Amino acid sequence: MTRAARPIRDDDAVHAAIVIAHPCADSYTAALAARAASGLRAAGHTVDVVDLYALGFRTAMTAAERQAYLGDEPILDPLVRSHADLVRRVDTLVFVYPTWWSGLPAILKGWLERVMVPGVGFVFDENTAAVRPGLTNVRRIIGISTYGSPRRYVRLVNDNGRRTLTRALRISCGLRTRVRWYGHYGVDTSSVTDRSAFADSVERAMRSLR
């Protein structure tokens, strides 16, 4: 007999943004993002999917954006503005990407640089000029990444993408923000069965998110 799902209470409800960074729509990364979204929606949560390549997100900050960075209007691009508005509304950020060169894909790094500007990712204290978290609405940061290398090698090179999201970005959200990480290591030599099992585990984890 299948156990009935526990009803979602208001304080359990999740509003997640899933940020995908892979150029191929038929990639394993895209499949993992779809499974994550399916799990969240099956649990009754709200999901916004941000597919950076499908949206044609421009990676590099322009000279004009850099000059505006510390001004009253640091965001010049309407697409970037829509993403900034989204991250200020959600309580959960889910990043799905392949780890390349021990770090984030360029498009995801560029997304952080262009979206997490002053007034969004952080704010300056008017009296002390100290940096304070800007995304205090975010209660969870979740990473789902594939790695060509085995886990021991990833540990050796420090997994810089994971560090960026779970340390640097977490500081922008506040130290009470919880972090979860799901990594499929050695993906280049993994079997179809291995990949399917990992995708299943991702969907189950998202379905049980509270």
* Residue 8 located in a structural domain: no
Given this model, what pLDDT does residue 11 score? 59
* Residue 10 located in a structural domain: no
* Residue 177 located in a structural domain: yes
The rounded mean pLDDT for the chain is: 93
Range of the domain at 68: 15-207
Given this model, what pLDDT does residue 1 score? 35
* Residue 21 located in a structural domain: yes
Average of per-residue pLDDT across 180-208:
97
Domains of the chain: total = 1
pLDDT in tens, 78-128: 999 999 999 999 999 999 999 999 999 999 999 999 999 999 999 987 777
Given this model, what pLDDT does residue 67 score? 96
* Residue 39 located in a structural domain: yes
* Residue 140 located in a structural domain: yes
Give the 3-state DSSP-derived string for the chain, with helices as H, strands as E and coil as C: CCCCCCCCCCCCCCEEEEEECCCCCCCHHHHHHHHHHHHHHHCCCEEEEEECCCCCCCCCCCHHHHHHCCCCCCCCCHHHHHHHHHHCCCCEEEEEEEEECCECCHHHHHHHHHHCCECCCEEECCCCCCEEECCCCCCEEEEEEEECCCHHHHHHCCCHHHHHHHHHHHHHHCCCCEEEEEEECCHHHCCHHHHHHHHHHHHHHHHCCC
* Residue 41 located in a structural domain: yes
Say whether pLDDT at 64 is over 80.
Answer: yes
Give the CATH number for residue 39: 3.40.50.360
- As a whole-number percent, the residues of the chain with pLDDT over 90 amount to 86
* Residue 192 located in a structural domain: yes
pLDDT in tens, 137-157: 999 999 999 999 999 999 899
Say whether pLDDT at 196 is over 60.
Answer: yes
